[in-house]
Structure 1
């Protein structure tokens, strides 16, 4: 098979690798990454240069954006017009650039994500700041290269008096790498550069003292330790946390958002909040309005009555882009290659660039000055020999003859002779001659000064500092983004949960739920009760207690194991719902059920747990021993035979204990008679039981003024002063606590109350009654009590709990 001699065979793997490498380098250097010197990508550099080419300085008239885009696309940037226009628009947006480089007239989009008007409608010109980027361009300060078709030239880099890379930042995705440089405050940034010029050994810590962090055009708050910013500034990589600025109006409890994080779309932020409210992931918001105008951002959120606005705000921070992160990647093109740089290195690159620009500028001025001086020297020679010069010119037949004669007779150069021939006769007057000589003297002095500057790096640095300080004075402003050293990771989930009292209910078949206490209304003694839980398949509410959403609930099972959860982690459900199975909340084994709860705020090392079993065994252990439960639970107490845990309470170690039984026996003794033991221990006898009797409650008594409320399964109950229960030894048979009859039924629960307490009774039918403790008769120990809740023959009272007055406020 014949082959074309011009076709070279190669492995496709090698060809793809080489071609892709060429492509990737083209994208990296030619499109995606900014130059460390002027902080611009090629598209932005070409736009600014093209606008200067069109004489669109800040003090000139606007021109249509379409004219700029078309001109730049035709001369320098052979890509799509939409990409060019997007780059032009971004340079005009004060919410995208900290210091805009383009002055736009018309609709250039908004922070809500609205698109700019079509380029045929909008008009642009350079801002005053842009002139500092383009200044000295005509003084041979930078190299020019041919454009894509060789028809004209464009600058490789701009002279840029301003440190634009860090001033306005940059972002871009190349092939296998990306950059994300945050903007900074002009005054702070220039101060760091000035200090680095004066002290090249300046440290990152010293830089951070001057410039504590980025400064975003939309303001906001930068959270986190200084070490995070320090790491990013030193290594070129890091992640900072950004938050919008929001406050709660004290008079109305309204949440007002006035600043949002950089690059966050305000409209989408509001839509996200509204969506979370609809999905009930954020609760307590009645309305949200966008009241933003030309004066700034103002998003108003109205909480529902009684809701904590700070909790709502914390949820908004947690679930929306009002709190976000900014990944710093200080990647830029340095010496034609992509490099990850630290702040100090970027500053030094800019300093080196400015040093070179200033040097070239003075070299250009020196060249022009010497050229001018050369002409003035020729003029001086001609003026010193004025009559001879005029005679030579008058004698010459042709201009060329005059030129050659002047060169020969006056010993001057061709350039000087041509300049003399071009000299107007009026310059030969005495006054004009004086001006020429004065100009020559001034030029000689200027050349001497320029050479002095060029011979001294110190002088060039001094000029550089002066120019930077002038820019800082002219364009510097106050910082927009605040720095907060607090670490956002320290905010716990509890900060997102409103603290409120919940009624925690456990059914006989092991369903648990929490319901806001406010849903239960107070009723008079003897009422039928409000529907509190749905009875399904003979299931009924068996245990109930009240706790704050921020409390721990420690669960104790029939097997003597212990688990704990925060109340807010429990499933919330309505009054009529059963809740969720405990097996879905705790990691219980198949035949394991929860038998007791303890609600606590913290695992205090000075407190104890008092556990009592159905068979009258009591155990005392330190509370802190139970603060580190495992997924499968930890052992709380060792049990024998059919014994099971029925009561767990906290104590100080010096309290009293009252144990009550189903058959109405009660024993009261000092807690100190029970020795504290480890978690794996079994405990000691607390009460001697009669046959078929069992313990229903165990109370830790902390003062002598409490009253003991005893309630029976048929709805009878009474209060009795604790003093009526005499102190005995641990393990005794006890005294009668209520006169039990067929009418009253056996004891369901017995616990201490005070007058301000409120009581909840739940029946096996799922109904609840709430009444004040002070409405319940205070009578003797061995009486049957009064009717507290109406129940029929098939219904029993199954659970009783108290609610302290502070829980109702």
Structure 2
């Protein structure tokens, strides 16, 4: 790569291709974001900001037994010494570490207002206080014993740990989430006791498969509880690949009110769902008639969650009510699993459950060895000093003489007893009262104990089997300290597929009103006089459709699609309604061709501007998505219900043609067959009628006219037809 050096004489303009300059700088930014901000380390589960907060609090001696200090003091310490970013982001990270509804095992003991599950923010840092929890102590244990590497801080004034010793698998226990450049991470919390049991299994049998581990760790364990309804196969796949998701539902129970009345009480919320926003969303569903089975929602929570859901009718099954709300609201959420982490070398990658636990165990083994070596060095130093003291006791009178009479007692002691300089200094610094006979026994006892410990440490450092045994014993102690019952239960969603939620919608007569500009509403009952309807300035009536609240509306568009709307979900007819395009994904360039109330078993005739068409069953035209269903390939000119045995068409060339309906094929989707042949122009209008009654058509005004001699225009489908009756332009 070409290196572009700055111009001489202090100039600051560099002649460099813009693409090269941008790519190099953006790459540096991306790497910084990935490694220093967004992705956690697989060994301790922390991003730099969380690691720095805990280490700063450890340096401030804010252990669980100490008095809490102001959060502003902690944030200032972190910002000034370790984390060169804003105080707001540091305090936000600290607050999250203290929230028991955000962390499965809180690492900061917060005193004051640290926010709540309603979404209220924490008080300002000058009002709150904090200290470390016992769980945080487990993650920091041994940090002063050379257990991990340190690096200089951003200003080279101090040092900070690259990773914490991590006494338990915090990455999976508390989870993590973050968005980097081009990658993201999303790891749910788990039960620490289950994770440690899985680690013990791996220590005992390293060949343990992910499937065997899932038998021990069946799924995430969220701090807010709830019910995980993801299938076991899906969770296994997520733990094997490191990618997937888990569906989490609110926990609820039915409360009997007597006389057949009941209500639902929600006692646990899905993880990261704010209760206040959920209540607002449920209230909006009721107001907009999108939750036909729910009558009311209210919050009776105090210390515990208690969300009351009132059904519209006691004949509704509670399971059916809840299943409808799970689909419509955040009473059910899908928590994504994307275990994208930094490994021991700082390389990002997606790891499965087993790989994460193995990485944690490898880290713990390294911490154990390094702490053992640190302790070994200090024992050897202490034994060296004790050996010097033992020589003193054997030659106490001579030592006292040398100290009293010699001008350079240190040099003389070294020469006389072959001591090291360290031993000589230690002997000279020893108080005379410590040289009593009793102290000699104490020294010998200490020497023997340390010698035994030294032998044990050397054996441990040299033996992987002994290391594994010590790791297992340490994890068992941690398990006792962190053990807590599982909060999230694993379950299956009840099968209510045979129960139609629409069956519980009250059947009421309405009139659907659609304006020319696409505003839709539903007026109660029948509209006797359309002229009395009010519209926005410049707007007017386009379609007036009688229906019932239990009906599905079919909305045909000029782009060939048919959309489906629930009549019960339409806005009230008191105002101007809402834009139809907010309810369906209709292109701005597409026009509404027709609006019909769906009749099960009925059939539709669809025709294109080019003069092609076919018959399609209405049931096949129903769409489940906002995007509708593509029925006609081409520009739709007509969509009408089949109610006769003959078809009459008229082209833009004013030529008319009548032919039997049976000549049209029945299709679910396609272009159709040719209805009428045109040299120029296309289809103007089409109708279906009974031969006994004959067709009628509308003249230039609103008057209907009969067509008694229609048989004169009877011919074969796809013919050109002949000039229509005077005044015939449209049938409808």
Verify same fold: TM over 0.5.
yes
CA RMSD of superposed structures (Å)? 4.3
How many angstroms apart in 1 are the aligned matches of 2:350 and 2:400?
68
Report how far residue 293 of structure 1 moved. 1.3
Distance 1:250 1:471 in 2: 43
1:362 maps to what in 2?
Answer: 372
Q: Displacement of 1:224 after TM fit? A: 2.1
Residue number in structure 1 paired with 2:237? 231
Moved more, 566-575 or 187-196: 566-575
The Cα shift of 1:309 comes to 5.7
> Could you tell me how far 1:93 is from its partner in structure 2?
0.2
Match of 2:265, SS state, is strand
1:74 equivalent among 56, 71, 80? 80
**CA shift digits 1:83-120 (9 cap, x unpaired):** 00000000000011011000000000011110100100
Which residue of the partner structure matches residue 436 of structure 1? 443
Q: How does 1:505-584 map to 2 (within 5 A)?
A: 583=596
User: Does structure 2 conserve the Cα–Cα contact (< 8 Å) formed by 1:254 and 1:309?
Assistant: no
The whole-number CA distance in structure 2 between the counterparts of 1:574 and 1:128 is 57
- Structure 1 residue 451 corresponds to structure 2 residue 458: yes
3-state DSSP of counterpart to 1:588: strand
Distance 1:474 1:570, change over 3 A: closer
Aligned to 2:55: 49
For 1:304, which of 287, 301, 312 is the aligned residue?
312
Change (3 A) 1:500 1:292: closer
TM-aligned CA distance change 1:201 to 1:142, over 3 Å = same
The residue number in structure 2 matching 1:348 is: 358
* Residue among 7, 12, 19 paired with 1:13: 19
1:203 is matched with which residue? 209
Corresponding position of 1:407 = 414
Q: 1:274 to 1:506 in 2, by over 3 A?
A: closer
Q: 1:497 aligns with which of 495, 502, 516?
A: 502
2:262–2:314 contact (8 Å) kept in structure 1: no
Q: Kindly tell me: are residues 402 and 534 of structure 1, through their superposed partners in 2, closer, same or farther at Cα, counting changes over 3 Å?
A: same
SS of corresponding position for 1:250: strand
Q: CA deviation at 1:225?
A: 1.4
Q: SS at 1:242's partner residue?
A: strand
Q: Distance in 2 between matches of 1:614 and 1:297?
A: 62
Please tell me whether the aligned partners of residues 35 and 41 of structure 1 are also in contact (alpha carbons under 8 angstroms).
Answer: yes
Cα distance change of structure 1 residues 89 and 567 upon mapping to structure 2, 3 Å threshold: closer
Q: Does 1:630 align with 2:634?
A: no
Local SS of the residue matching 2:310? strand
Give the match's secondary structure for 2:308: strand
| CA spacing shift, 1:392–1:283, aligned 2, 3 Å | same
Residue matched to 2:137: 131
* Contact in 1 for aligned 2:644/2:691 (Cα 8 Å): no
Go from structure 1 to structure 2 and tell me whether the alpha carbon gap of 1:389 and 1:323 turns closer, same or farther (over 3 Å shift). same
- Displacement, 1:642? 4.0
Shift in Å, 1:373: 0.4
* Secondary structure of 2:605's aligned partner: coil
Residue equivalent to 1:278: 287
TM norm structure 2: 0.71
Q: Distance in 1 between matches of 2:563 and 2:59?
A: 70
Question: Per the alignment, in what secondary structure is the counterpart of residue 432 of structure 1?
Answer: helix
Segments of 5+ residues of structure 2 without an aligned counterpart are 1-5, 513-521, 532-545, 554-561, 574-592, 620-642, 647-665, 673-687, 694-732
SS of match in other structure, 1:89: helix
The answer to whether 1:376 aligns with 2:383 is no
1:255 to 257, 260, 264: 264
Distance between the aligned counterparts of 2:429 and 2:286, measured in 1? 83
Partner of 1:120: 126
Q: Measure the CA separation in 1 of the matches of 2:275 and 2:321.
A: 18
Say if 2:290 and 2:568, in contact at 8 Å, map to a contact too. no
> In structure 2, which of residues 212, 216, 220 is the aligned counterpart of residue 214 of structure 1?
220
The verdict on how the C-alpha distance between 1:249 and 1:31 changes in structure 2, with shifts beyond 3 A counting, is same
Partner residue, 1:156 = 162
Paired with 1:501 and 1:5, the residues of 2 have a C-alpha distance of: 85
The answer to whether 1:394 aligns with 2:404 is yes
Give how far 1:491 is off: 6.3
Contact 2:402/2:413, CA 8 A, preserved across alignment: yes
User: Does 2:4 match 1:4?
Assistant: no
2 CA distance for matches of 1:571 and 1:52?
A: 57
Alpha-carbon shift at residue 462 of structure 1 (Å): 1.0
When residues 269 and 309 of structure 1 are mapped into structure 2, their CA distance, relative to the original with a 3 A threshold, is farther
- 1:331-342 aligned at under 5 Å gives the runs 331-334=340-343, 335-342=345-352
Aligned to 1:62: 68
User: Contact conserved, 2:223 with 2:271, CA < 8 A, in 1?
Assistant: yes
- After superposition, give the CA deviation of every residue in 1:193-239 in whole Å (9 maximum; x if it has no partner): 11111111111110110001111111111112112111111111112
Structure 2 CA distance for aligned equivalents of residues 31 and 336 of structure 1: 12
Q: Which runs of 5+ in 1 are unaligned?
A: 508-514, 520-530, 538-543, 554-563, 599-611, 616-627, 645-809
Within 2, Cα distance between the matches of 1:149 and 1:567?
62
Is the CA contact 1:588–1:632 (under 8 Å) kept in the aligned structure 2? Answer: no
